[in-house]
């Protein structure tokens, strides 16, 4: 039966990315060796890294003076690597959920890191707005998309200080004004590639300013200078990343991804709002286009498990909500199709008709 993948991460990738990567795993560029067996220094692999970097720069319209690097350790390692490299005196953090909280916790190892605003009192069901931003911050850190709760800051904040963002779960889904940022980072496994590589975009002239000794691997300059080849990079994940960037470009780039995201999300949210069984869980104006969270209305609470089973029988995968929210979460990253979300809303309608 056809499956519709709504996993929150690792998540759905375009079919052709998977097929092309699979082919290279069997025989890399006709070399007779697998992509899994070649040296990262092989002459055929450097072009893969170069093309992946070039496509990210092109798609995100990255200005001069920024470097794109590929690292290990996930977005979680960036929670400490960001402040290690960029926290000089004081940094501000917006607490919009578990990931944001973890990033703040790690920053405190390196200096003064303050929580400027939080939506913890309402289980992170909204995005704090109109909070004061001190002008003496080294940077303002925020999480653009809160994967667990389904809220999103789908814009580049206006702030009197440079921005740093964890864009793990909505990077490449809209155009971004990179010039506002000191750094952008994202674990690739939500919207860009298979798991195993983290994309970090850093502003070169902000590097080397932090008043501390940095271990070699933690210093971004190591990876910028060596073109992400200081140590062995994750070859297969980078290859799949390059393939996804080709696919995004072929679809029309980030404006097209944005339009598709709007269209998909509208289909699902319209159904949540119309259907008597379901309701959304977050403030309407802060609804994520990437992770669409919903629960049963109170009077139908006992239908949660039956709906889950009903949808699963129809091929829906990964729609169970995170345990801290409950209910359902339909993750709609770039590769999610209109067909997929229509199948989901059809299941919601058909289930409603039975009750
Ligand atoms: C998944 C996720 C992370 C954690 O990513 P890892 O690569 O597993 O460390 C961090 N931030 C956000 C917003 C996420 O969605």
What is the rounded distance in angstroms from the CA atom of residue 282 to the CA atom of residue 291?
A: 11
Ligand 1 pocket test target in 98, 151, 167, 187 with most atoms within 8 Å of CB: 187
Q: In the numeric block, which tokens belong to residue 81?
A: 């690597």
Instruction: Pull the structure tokens for residue 86.
Output: 């960029």
pLDDT at residue 41 is higher than 90: no
Query: Which among 78, 99, 150, 325 is the best mutation to test ligand 1's pocket, defined by most ligand atoms within 8 Å of the CB?
Result: 99
283 pLDDT exceeds 90?
yes
Is 102 an active-site residue? no
Look up 99 and say whether it is catalytic: yes
Whole-angstrom Cα Rg for the chain: 21
Q: What is the mean pLDDT of residues 241-265?
A: 98
208 contacts 221 by C-beta, under 8 angstroms: yes
What is the distance of C-alpha 214 from the center of its chain? 27
Read off the pLDDT of residues 130-142 as tens digits, 9 standing for 90 and up. 999 999 999 999 9
Is 187 near ligand 1, meaning CB less than 6 Å away?
yes
Cβ neighbours of 313 (radius 10 Å): 10
Active site residue 190: yes
pLDDT digits (tens, 9 = 90+) for 290-301: 999 999 999 999
Interval between CA 148 and ligand 1 midpoint (Å): 10
Catalytic residue among 190, 247, 258, 286: 190
Q: Is 144 in the pocket of ligand 1 (CB under 6 A)?
A: no
Q: Which one of 74, 81, 183 would you pick to mutate in the ligand 1 pocket, going by the greatest count of ligand atoms within 8 A of its CB?
A: 74
What pLDDT does residue 180 have? 98
10 Å Cβ neighbour count for 54?
Answer: 15
Least confident range of 34-48, 128-142, 213-227, 247-261? 34-48
Contacts of 13 (CB under 8 A, 6+ apart): 193, 194, 240, 244, 335
Identify the band that residue 43 occupies on the pLDDT scale cut at 50, 70 and 90. confident
**Dist. CA 205 → ligand 1 center (Å):** 26
């Amino acid at each position: 039966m056809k499956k519709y993948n709504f996993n929150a991460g690792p998540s759905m990738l375009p079919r052709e990315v998977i097929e092309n990567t699979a082919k290279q795993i069997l025989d890399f560029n006709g070399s007779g060796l697998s992509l899994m067996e070649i040296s990262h220094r092989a002459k055929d692999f450097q072009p893969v890294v170069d093309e992946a970097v070039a496509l990210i720069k092109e798609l995100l319209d990255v200005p001069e003076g920024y470097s794109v690097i590929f690292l290990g350790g996930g977005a979680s390692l960036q929670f400490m690597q960001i402040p290690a490299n960029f926290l000089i005196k004081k940094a501000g953090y917006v607490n919009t959920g578990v990931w944001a909280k973890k990033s703040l916790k790690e920053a405190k190892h390196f200096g003064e890191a303050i929580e400027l605003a939080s939506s913890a009192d309402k289980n992170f069901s909204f995005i704090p707005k109109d909070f004061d931003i001190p002008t003496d911050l080294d940077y303002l850190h925020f999480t653009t998309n809160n994967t667990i709760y389904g809220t999103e800051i789908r814009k580049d904040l206006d702030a009197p200080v440079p921005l740093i963002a964890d864009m793990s779960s909505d990077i490449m889904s809209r155009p971004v004004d990179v010039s506002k940022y000191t750094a952008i980072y994202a674990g690739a496994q939500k919207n860009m590639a298979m798991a195993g590589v983290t994309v970090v975009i850093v502003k070169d002239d902000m590097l080397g300013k932090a008043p501390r000794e940095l271990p070699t691997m933690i210093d971004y300059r190591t990876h910028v200078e060596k073109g992400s080849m200081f140590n062995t990079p994750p070859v297969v994940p980078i290859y799949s990343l390059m393939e996804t960037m080709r696919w995004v470009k072929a679809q029309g780039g980030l404006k097209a991804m944005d339009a598709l995201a709007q269209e998909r999300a509208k289909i699902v949210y319209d159904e949540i709002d119309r259907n008597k069984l379901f309701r959304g869980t977050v403030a309407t104006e802060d609804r994520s286009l990437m992770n669409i969270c919903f629960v049963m209305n109170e009077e139908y609470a006992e239908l949660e498990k039956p709906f889950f089973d009903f949808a699963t029988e129809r091929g829906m995968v990964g729609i169970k909500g995170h345990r801290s929210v409950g209910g359902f979460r339909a993750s709609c990253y770039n590769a999610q199709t209109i067909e997929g979300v229509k199948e989901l809303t059809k299941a919601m309608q058909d289930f409603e008709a039975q009750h």
